[in-house]
């Protein structure tokens, strides 16, 4: 079902961090969400991932931080972050706060490792964490649920530039009403909830 188109201006166009992740996966996904918008089809993976998040929060709160190579720190689950400067907001799965640094943590239900879109999403959260707590964020963590494994992600200036570029590209395509090119990795289209709107990729 298609709902009434929404109109945006650069002054009120706030994005969410998952838009950055989706953009890195396929630039058309955030475009469809904002420019049409279209109904999003729920998937089994989405529902299962939410259930595992709840289980992991319960277990994680009782564990030590050795998996993160940290001696100690405070865990803050489900922290809502917003930056007026970036025009960006999102709910971070977990923030770990130590005496000297802050770290964003994202839980991912994936059999693979840390993908490029996961890295970009984590960097976006890192930038929001910096604004919230006022300290530079140099790394974050991706918790791979099926493997019960934590991967360290070191951030770079290139990662930060990639986030800013993604935000600008998403806003540009939506405000100009120009549909971006689809991902060049066509295998991603098979399970995409928006595949019926991309007649040019099959």
**DSSP codes, 19-51:** HHHHHHH-THHHHHHHHS-BPPPP-HHHHHHHH
Mind listing the domains of the chain with CATH numbers? 15-201 (3.90.320.10)
pLDDT tens sequence across 109-124: 888 889 999 999 999 9
The pLDDT, as a whole number, for residue 19 is 96
Contact 68/140 with Cβ under 8 angstroms? no
Whose tokens are 């998937």? That residue is 43
193 burial (CB, 10 Å; 0-12 / 13-18 / 19+) is middle
Angstrom CA distances, 193 to 25, 29, 198, stand at 13, 9, 11
The pLDDT, as a whole number, for residue 10 is 57
The pLDDT, as a whole number, for residue 50 is 56
Whose tokens are 């993908």? That residue is 115
Instruction: Give pTM, 2 decimals.
Output: 0.86
Which has the closest alpha carbon to 86: 30, 157, 163?
163
- Low-confidence stretches of the chain (pLDDT beneath 50): 1-5, 44, 48
């Amino acid at each position: 079902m298609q709902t009434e188109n929404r109109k945006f201006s650069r002054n009120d166009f706030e994005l969410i961090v998952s838009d950055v992740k989706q953009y890195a996966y396929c630039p058309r996904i955030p475009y469809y969400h904002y420019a049409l918008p279209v109904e999003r089809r729920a998937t089994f993976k989405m529902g299962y991932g939410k259930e595992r998040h709840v289980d992991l929060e319960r277990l994680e709160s009782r564990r030590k931080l050795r998996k993160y190579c940290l001696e100690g720190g405070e865990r803050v689950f489900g922290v809502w972050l917003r930056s007026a400067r970036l025009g960006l907001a999102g709910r971070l799965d977990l923030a770990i706060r130590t005496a000297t640094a802050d770290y964003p943590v994202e839980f991912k239900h994936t059999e693979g490792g840390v993908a490029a879109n996961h890295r970009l999403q984590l960097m976006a959260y890192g930038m929001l964490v910096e604004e919230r707590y006022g300290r530079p964020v140099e790394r974050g963590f991706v918790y791979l649920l099926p493997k019960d494994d934590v991967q360290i992600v070191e951030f770079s200036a290139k990662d930060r530039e990639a986030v800013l570029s993604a935000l600008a590209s998403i806003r540009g395509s939506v405000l100009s009403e120009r549909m971006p090119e689809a991902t060049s990795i066509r295998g991603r289209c098979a399970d995409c909830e928006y595949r019926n709107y991309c007649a040019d990729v099959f």
